[in-house]
Amino acid sequence: MPRDYLKKATLTAQSHATEVHDTVKTILSDIEAGGDAKALEYAAKFDKFEGNVLMTQDEIDAAIALVPEKLKADIRFAHDNVRRFAETQKATVSDVQTEIVPGVVAGQKAIPVDAAGCYVPGGRYSHIASAIMTVTTAKVAGCRHITACSPPRPGEGVAPAIVYAAHICGADSILAMGGVQGVAAMTYGLFGLPRANILVGPGNQFVAEAKRILYGKVGIDMIAGPTDSLILADSSADAHVVATDLVSQAEHGYNSPVWLVTDDRALAQKVMELVPQLIDDLPELNKENAAAAWRDYAEVIVCDNREDMAACSDEYAPEHLTVQAEDLDWWLDRLTCYGSLFLGEETTVSYGDKATGTNHVLPTSGAASYTGGLSVHKYMKIVTWQRATREGSKPIAVATARISRLEGMEGHARAADVRLAKYFPDEQFDLTADG
């Protein structure tokens, strides 16, 4: 039986795509040419902030003093979890070497990038967790300089909790600047900052487009769209918990898709009944976002069995994937396309978003079919090296010369020839392409 869509999305993540490319490109070009002064001009226009943009230690200390001790403890708890997980990830990459053939050794080195630029959203919501996720992983990776950049509030500056999180997680500089101008400042090394080698962190459509345009000039974590979440649930799932989890992710924004995939029609219908009630109970701004996301982007899909549920999920390749079903090990082994996986009712995407330790900067819009999320590895370059003895280089040189001539690359062949002639002057080699 084909899948039954009890609720079908009327829009996709691209339906409201604004024509921002030209605007962003103009701003980037202006700031690249005009430097600090032009960045400050855009900051005054868009951030409506005319204070100091590169925070001093005194300003950092003053902001930290405003953060309640209970919140500081929570931030430290989350930071410790993210740090420990990042350290575990880093341990999976090591410098190695192997003897390819006698006398020829090849190796791998993991080298952190020099400077990282971490964008921390601070508009509609103050994304404290984004500061923890991005700065901590860069610090564990070993980046020499880390800039945390976040939009300031008019007359106030960067949210104190973001300042505290960025500071304790290891940011070397905190830039009070938002949007394209903030991204540009890190990329071009304005205000005395080093030029960023990589830009990471979530942001609005203008930030995402700026990262897209700048990719190549700098590295980026990924090109991100609106956040999305999918729940796989069977008859054992609690409909109220499922509905609550869907709503919790829909509040991200009006265009944040949430999907329920199940093989239990009664569960699907109960969840569809509960979601509007739960949305209506949210604070006004959260309610507005969640209602639009549920109305226009959400889907509820009934499948025949768990294998079809898993196949459906892999096709969507969601950013966040939750399983509330029996036999969790089966799902862990079977599922292949997701940014982060949450197994069982006892965990939830909100845990991963804030405090578990796994990173919340994840691939969206189906990108989980080919990439994972932000990790300590994103800040590290896996480079290779090689060394050879003269005797060990002999078979390599012969093969190189022949392959190069077959390809028509005579210069490459002669780089091998000259070594054979120097190291083995009394030997004859057949170096022609036809053998």
Query: Cα separation of 266 and 238, whole Å?
Result: 12
Estimate to the nearest angstrom the gap between the alpha carbon of 156 and the chain centroid: 29
State the DSSP code for 261.
E
**Among this protein's residues, is 346 annotated catalytic?**
no
Query: Cα separation of 307 and 326, whole Å?
Result: 13
Query: Cα separation of 140 and 158, whole Å?
Result: 24
Pairing of strands 299-302, 4-7: antiparallel
Pairing of strands 219-220, 198-200: parallel
Residue 164 near residue 158, CB atoms below 8 Å: no
Residue type, 184: A
Token representation of residue 344: 């069982």
Residue of 273, 320, 345, 377 with catalytic role: 320
- Report the half-sphere exposure of 291 (CA within 13 A, side-chain side): 12
Backbone angles phi, psi at 154, to 5 degrees: -50, 125
Residue of 167, 251, 319, 360 with catalytic role: 319
**Among this protein's residues, is 273 annotated catalytic?**
no
- In DSSP notation, 169-215 reads HT-SEEEE--HHHHHHHHHHTGGGPPPPSEEES---HHHHHHHHHHB
- State the distance between the two ends of the chain, measured CA to CA, in whole angstroms: 60
Residue 274: CB atoms within 10 A of its CB come to 18
Token representation of residue 250: 């829909």
* 303, 5, 323, 85 alpha-carbon torsion, rounded to 10°: 130
What is the widest separation between alpha-carbon atoms in the chain?
Answer: 88
Residue 6 near residue 269, CB atoms below 8 Å: yes
> CA nearest 43: which of 144, 249, 183?
183
Query: Cα separation of 103 and 111, whole Å?
Result: 26
Residue 112 near residue 142, CB atoms below 8 Å: yes
Bridge partners of residue 386, in order along the sequence: 106
Question: Active-site residue numbers?
Answer: 319-320
